[in-house]
Amino acid sequence: MASFRFFPFSFSQPSVPKPPRSTSSSRLSVSAVAVTVTVGGAAIVASRNPSVFSSHRSSPLTWGSIALADPSSGSTVVEPKTGFSFPATIGDSMRLLGVGLRRKSVLGLKNIDVYAFGMYADCDDVKKLVGEKYGNLPASELRGNKAFIDDLMEADIKMTIRLQIVYGKLNIRSVRSAFRDSVGNRLKKFGGLDNDELLQSFTSLFKDEYKIPRSSTIDMTQEPGHVLNVAIEGNQVGSVKSKLLCRSILDLYIGEEPFDKNAREDFLNNVASIAVDDKAAHEIQK
């Protein structure tokens, strides 16, 4: 069983933060259904999003001294624009490294909050990647290093992207259609034009029979061997083995044109913090 080190993760702060609304963290499942993309273990950083680390009762901690709580305490992190909360850890080694919001413009007139999302990664997998190729780089250079970000999305790291539905009128057909467009564009970007069958194998997992009311979850998790598992409300609905598909989905959240830029920056800052902490620990042991 992997052991946890407590990293001082940070989140970005919006200009006009909304007070969090209490939500039941029990609805957050560990599976791949709250569109959580698990692609390796990682932790969270607090910079510009005023995501709040809270206890199981969602009592906010003092801003400016945000530290990841004991994984056994049931701590959660709140996405500030929606008030939706995410567990700080999933399983033994998956740590929350960033939270964000997917917004969609309707006819160029109105923005709809579609879903909040949390990005998790396996800390041990992240440390291994950094140690093997980027052990000599300081955290400041890791954060903006394109080669490192590309390697992070290509590596066989366990990671999860968890989605929590915000828009109450959203149905599974809309989710399927949205992924057909966004993931389809990324498949073309990274793999060329002939990937219709791969895209169909992914979108077909989102069947009409599944209901996704407000606050329901979708987890997308990259397991070892680049196997993408999808779970809805904690129930696994299927999996697809494809490195190209895993990278394409990750690119939506941590690529060059992410759904939420602040969430991406928080994620990368926290990954860098894991690397720095690990290097410091090794220096102390010498």
Pairing between β-strand 110-122 and β-strand 41-42 as defined by DSSP bridges: antiparallel
**Residue 17 pLDDT more than 80?**
no
Q: What pLDDT sits at residue 11?
A: 53
- For residue 110, name the pLDDT band (cuts at 50, 70, 90): confident
Q: What pLDDT sits at residue 42?
A: 33
- For residue 278, name the pLDDT band (cuts at 50, 70, 90): low
> What burial class does residue 72 get, using C-beta atoms within 10 Å of its C-beta: 0-12 exposed, 13-18 middle, 19+ buried?
exposed
Query: How far, rounded to the nearest angstrom, does the alpha carbon of residue 149 sit from its chain's CA centroid?
Result: 14
List the domain boundaries for the chain.
3-285
SS3 (DSSP) at 161? strand
- The tokens describing 94, both together, are 């998956």
- For residue 200, name the pLDDT band (cuts at 50, 70, 90): very high
* Contact criterion met (CB below 8 Å) for 116 and 163: yes
Q: Which of 39-48, 116-125, 134-143, 223-232 has the lowest mean pLDDT?
A: 39-48
Mean pLDDT value across residues 17-40: 38
Query: How far, rounded to the nearest angstrom, does the alpha carbon of residue 130 sit from its chain's CA centroid?
Result: 19
Tell me if the domain spanning 3-285 has CATH number 3.90.25.10: no
**In this predicted model, what pLDDT tens digit does every residue of 89-99 receive, in sequence order?**
998 889 999 99
Q: State the Cα–Cα distance between residues 265 and 18, nearest whole angstrom.
A: 20
pTM of the full structure = 0.76
More confidently predicted of 143 and 155: 155
Q: What pLDDT sits at residue 63?
A: 27
